[in-house]
Copies of this chain bind each other. A is one copy, B any other.
Amino acid sequence: MKGKNTAFVGEFSTFSGYFCGMEMIVGHKKLEQLVESVFIAMGCLPEQARTATEVLVAADLRGIDSHGVARLSGCVRLWEVGRVQAQPLINLVHETPSTAVVDGGSGLGLVVAPHAMQIAIEKAKLVGTGWVSVKNSNHFGIAAYHAMMALPHDMIGIVMTNASALVAPTFSAERLLGTNPICVAIPAGEEPAFVGDMATTTAANGKLEILQRKQEAAPIGWIQDEQGEATTDAHALKKGGALLPLGSDRTHGSHKGYALGAIVDIFSAVLSGANYGPWVPPFPAYVPMPENQPGQGIGHFFGAMRIDAFRTTEDFKSNMDNWIRRFRHSRPIDPAQPVLIPGDPERETHARRLQDGIPLMDGVWDDLLAVAEKFSIKI
């Protein structure tokens, strides 16, 4: 692999890929081509391979590296052990004018999620809002991709998903919740959209992985050890520890982060019939499935609300612009760090990486090459 790897150096003009210190920088089109070839080789239908690729690479473009192509080899391994179906039967199993439950047919969440979000959008067109809970799915990339699907329709998009248990509720020594993100995307007029995309934990697992790689300590308030004591050991999760809900401890409101993570779990999985709490399937294919699972696969929740189901789109957007400008121009604590609107950092990263390429950690690139080799894909 190393030979192939070094072959990229200096070939930026042709392959959009070059080394930069420890990082490999790859153009997004090159990356998309590789990812799409892998999904096609797995047996995905061309249109679904295209969608899954767009969702996955959107994470890398927006700077959420932990949810992008770094997950590709994991998806392939889940397919190899039969936990992901390349051509899933995605079924609408129940509906009312404003709601639906979708069975993802064990498909890639990267395919199931946009399908379900589209149903929410269609329902919102007809009755003002649409709400879809999904069972029997898998990892769906970044929530923001799906929530932002609502924006061109002048709708608010709301997306949640559960995930395998890494988080301890307040007072618990056990891990019972995933990092269970919530994303809300809200259109504006002249200003860019508001896109709040957040794990319901103090820190995302991806940030912890960065500290692990750098052999650095974690801030107090991110994790607890197996006994439930605060720790700075970035490796504590592997030793039976847990991530902490947003708020860190009871004094600082961790019971609120716990409640938010719980709401995501219930909307995504108890409403749909997916697995919840400690029974959510793990992402790594080598980790055994929890016993006595009460549902199917992992669960998601999607919502779309048409702006003009409430007031005129013009009035709303002009107020949103005013809201955004007032917040952006508020008096900062440090003049060098202005107040941000949710979505600002990801939008800036997206624009930069579209232009300059996507930096991949060395391990990630090697991983992609290994996947490509497995399917005899030429890079």
Contact = CB atoms under 8 A, between A and B. Distances in A.
A46 interface: no
Contacts of A18: none
A281 interface: no
B316 A270 contact: yes
A312 B94 CA distance: 10
Give the interface size bracket for A toward B: 35 or more
A172 interface: yes
Given A273-B315, A311-B101, A327 B176 contact: yes
B128 A273 contact: no
B330 A262 contact: no
B327 A277 contact: yes
Interface string A180-202: 00001010000000101011111
B262 A332 contact: no
A97 B125 CA distance: 11
Contact of A94 (B277, B310, B338): B310
Interface in A108-129: 127-129
B251 A246 contact: no
A259 interface: yes
Contacts of A253: 198, 201-203, 246
Given A171-B337, A171-B339, A128 B294 contact: no
A339 B128 CA distance: 39
A315 B93 CA distance: 15
Contacts of A339: 169-172
A224 B131 CA distance: 39
Contact of A322 (B221, B248, B294): B294
Contact of A320 (B270, B327, B342): B270
B309 A96 contact: yes
B131 A128 contact: yes
A333 interface: yes
A331 B246 contact: no
A278 interface: yes
Contacts of A170: 339-340
Contact of A172 (B221, B246, B331): B331
A364 interface: no
A219 B252 CA distance: 8
A333 B278 contact: no
A135 to B, nearest CB: 9
A326 B277 contact: yes
A61 interface: no
Interface string A335-362: 0011110100000000000000000000
Nearest to A169: B339
A310 to B, nearest CB: 5
A323 B276 contact: yes
A99 interface: yes
A319 interface: yes
Nearest to A219: B251
A338 B173 CA distance: 10
Contacts of A97: 97-98, 127-128
Given A246-B257, A247-B202, A270-B319, A262 B196 contact: yes
Nearest to A279: B326
Interface in A1-44: none
A305 interface: yes
Contacts of A251: 219, 221
17 contacts: A97-B98, A98-B309, A99-B309, A169-B330, A172-B327, A172-B339, A176-B327, A184-B259, A186-B266, A194-B262, A196-B259, A202-B247, A221-B252, A246-B257, A248-B252, A273-B311, A294-B322
